[in-house]
Structure 1
Amino acid sequence: MTGTAGTYDFSGRTALITGGTRGAGLGTAEAFLAAGANVVITGRDQARVDTVVQRLADRHGYRVDGIKAHVALEDDRHVSLGLCLSKYGSVDILFNNAAVNPHVGPCIDIPTSAADKIMQVNVLAPLGYIQQAWDMWMRDNGGVVINHASISGWAQVPPVTVYGASKAALIYLTQALGAQLAPRVRVNAIAPGTIETGFADWMYQGREEESASYYPMGRHALPSDIAQAALWLASEQSTYITGAVIPVDGGMMGYGYPDPYIQRLGRAAPDRHRP
């Protein structure tokens, strides 16, 4: 597996990508397929999984499969890992990409059910996947885990406070497991800012230029930016890197999170009372 001039060869290796039917997950699936990997994606909608798998297979050949899976369910995680093993014989790369954010607004107003869902999907599911991948393959054979974190796990982004807390927890787990599973398994994370996907379009829709202007690089991240970071972290070019969190944020962390529109969305009205 080499990586020179931005090219990689993952031939014979298998990547499991959760939430791989859209956005950064889909972009990363495309990138690993282009680099020769076998790829298994998960998604919540079987019809969409089937459509995306067929499209990827038409483009890259039949080294791709997909399965409907709810990442928060242990049995679904087991079945998706089992598909990698039964079809391709290994689970070399795990990209914990799936995430939810059902609440935008002041933290004081988030329903506890929404907060629980965020923690189940964004923290406990990645941990469960790592544990099960370790038991089923990586303890004996090694591997690479990449967690999709966020700069909201470092910097206060008021309207998504609990989402940010979940990403802070994922960053902590990444650093801890990076040490605990070494040298057999490397665990790292990618921490983007705003990515131009349906997941985050509420942050910039109708104000794209203004929103992008707060990033020193002058634009939001694209799924391909996340994919390139994932390829590098999975490659032999980063074999001494574990427990690291790589910001893919166009320099945003140098400013904190300066977008005043986003800051305003997180403020509780002074006269607001919870029912």
Structure 2
Amino acid sequence: MTNHDINLHGKTAIVTGASRGIGLAAAQALATAGANVVLTSRKQEAADAAAAQINGSAIGVGAHAVAGDQARRCIELTIEKFGGVDILVNNAGTNPAFGPMIAQDHDRFAKTMDVNLWAPLLWTGLATEAWMGEHGGSVINTASIGGLGHEAGIGLYNVSKAALIYLTKQLALELSPKIRVNSVAPGVVRTKLAEALWKDHEEPIAAATALARIGEPEDVAAAIAFLASDAASWVTGETMVIDGGQRLGDARSYQNGALVDG
């Protein structure tokens, strides 16, 4: 077995939906490891502002995740500027639908599936065609622990993430052996997208979590950098759960001597 440092010098990464949250943290983690990083956002100004926060080699590109022409242009620009695209982080996500599944209209369904499922497939296909198919690469999709279970109110979002986990496995087989495809499944993380899940009740969520806090974007970013690197060179088709133990259930009954006989 060979030990690998997370060394991405000479590599180039694209991170979609990178203007804030997990995407921005992932871009910084990849840059810290030595990669050139292209950060995308729907608006060029937001992409530029995000890239300006990165300590390392980074540029911003305005590209709506579901727009094929913009995605293709971004990938072409990346190859022109940096000479290739070795890492793709499909991070752009949305959750416009809340409530029972049967209460959702087609517009909310289509937007959720387009951004959370079609966009990762679109970008992966374009990156494969333009570079990775010949040269190899690593793709990391941002899924969610919601895709591994059930939860009231965000069923449509969770269905899209469950499908993304399946897509990750399917692409890992279809693109093997040159391209590795994995996903991360964050729990409740301090991001704007997940704000409704934690903002008004962070304390009880943290108390019920085995590691006693909600997640930070950097927690997920570290896993993304690992999966992008040669340290994960024999890992593909996997979904790495990063949730502080939230899927284990309520930790409070196990802590503070609760199981010790008095």
* 2:127 aligned partner, one-letter code: A
Task: Give the superposition deviation at 1:166.
Answer: 0.4
Q: Which position in structure 1 is the counterpart of 2:44?
A: 46
Percent identity over the alignment is 39
| 1:10, distance to aligned residue in structure 2 (A) | 0.8
1:102 pairs with one of 60, 77, 96: 96
Q: Provide the alpha-carbon RMSD of the alignment.
A: 1.3
Partner of 1:272: none
2:118 corresponds to 1:120: no
Aligned residue for 1:160? 154
Q: Would the aligned equivalents of 2:39 and 2:50 in 1 still touch at CA under 8 Å? A: no
CA contact (8 A) 1:28 1:230 kept: yes
1:235 CA drift (Å): 1.2
Aligned to 1:130: 124
Aligned equivalents of 1:3, 1:34: Cα separation in 2: 16
Contact residue 24 and residue 227 of structure 1 kept, 8 A: yes
Mapped to 1, the partners of 2:183 and 2:200 lie a distance apart of 30
Q: Tell whether the 8 Å contact from 1:107 to 1:158 is kept in structure 2 after alignment.
A: no
Tell me the SS of whatever aligns to 1:158: coil
- Unmatched runs of 5 consecutive residues or more in structure 1: 257-275
2:70 is aligned with 1:72? no
**Which digits, 9 at most, give the CA deviation of each residue in 1:143-195, with x for residues without a partner?**
00000000111110221101100001100010111122111000000001111
Q: Report the Cα offset of residue 223 of structure 1.
A: 0.6
* 1:116 to partner: Cα distance: 0.7
Output the TM-score relative to the length of structure 2.
Answer: 0.91
How far the C-alpha of 1:3 sits from its partner, in A, is: 4.2
Tell me the distance in 2 between the aligned counterparts of 1:175 and 1:54: 34
| TM-score under structure 1 length normalisation | 0.87
Provide the aligned length of Structure 1 versus Structure 2: 248
Paired amino acid for 1:52: A
Task: Give the CA deviation at 1:55.
Answer: 2.8
Alpha-carbon distance, 1:201 to partner: 0.9
| 1:213 alignment partner in structure 2 | 207
Tell me, in whole angstroms, the C-alpha distance in 2 between the residues paired with 1:120 and 1:24.
19
Cα deviation per residue 1:46-81 (whole Å; 9 max; x = unaligned)?
A: 22222222232xx33xx2111111111110110111
Name 2:255's counterpart in structure 1. Answer: none
Partner of 1:254: 248
1:1-275 matched pairs, under 5 angstroms: 3-4=4-5, 8-56=6-54, 59-60=55-56, 63-255=57-249
